[in-house]
Amino acid sequence: MAQRRRDPFRVLIACLLSLRTKDETTGPAAERLFALADTPGAMLRLAPSSIERAIFPVGFYRTKARVLLGVCRDLLERFDGRVPDTIDALLTLKGVGRKTANLVVTVGFHKPGICVDVHVHRISNRLGYVRTRTPEESEMALRARLPRRHWIGYNDLLVAFGQNLCLPVSPKCSICPVRDLCPRVGVTRSR
């Protein structure tokens, strides 16, 4: 089971489903879809409406069904049905951004990368570790500053922290384990 979860194709598709969707919705939707098709070729044999039904209620499920089919078509036509193992190649797939490309490279291929989502961007700046305006700038700043051995785990650590303590509005600074070390850059209100 763990091997299937690390399959680059599954990582890519699940990540595309997860965009603007909560984890508790994404996981079951991905499993329903993979029960129907777990390769690019098998996915292309599905009708768009079948994909939509399988992935509902993920956000933008109709658009995502079209994106998934486009990615699968691209994988077959340009990459012999295989998910590419470099960020640059992944970025050529329509619908794949830097966060998704980094996630596929790190989780699917066990290569170094830094997945920067809103949590990683916000917390890295709030801690004063980087001073950036966008997640992409944060990724580049973190690549220059953070030791490579911490790249893969950095996202997991900060996402959970950002969902539970270091919230976007009114973070829970009073119970934060690193509050004495945190300059709280940009924090105007906390609890």
Instruction: List the catalytic residue out of 23, 38, 94, 99.
Output: 99
- Burial class (CB within 10 angstroms; exposed 0-12, middle 13-18, buried 19+) of 132: middle
- In eight-state DSSP terms, residue 94 is T
Q: Which of 84, 146, 86 is nearest to 114 (CA)?
A: 146
Cα separation, 188 vs 37, whole angstroms: 48
Q: In the chain, count H helices and then E strands.
A: 12, 0
74 a catalytic residue: no
Token match 């850059």: residue? 185
- Using the 8-state DSSP alphabet, how is residue 65 labeled? H
Active site residue 85: no
**How many whole angstroms separate alpha carbon 149 and alpha carbon 48?**
41
Residues 94, 117, 156, 180: which is the catalytic one? 117
- Residues with a catalytic annotation lie at 99, 117
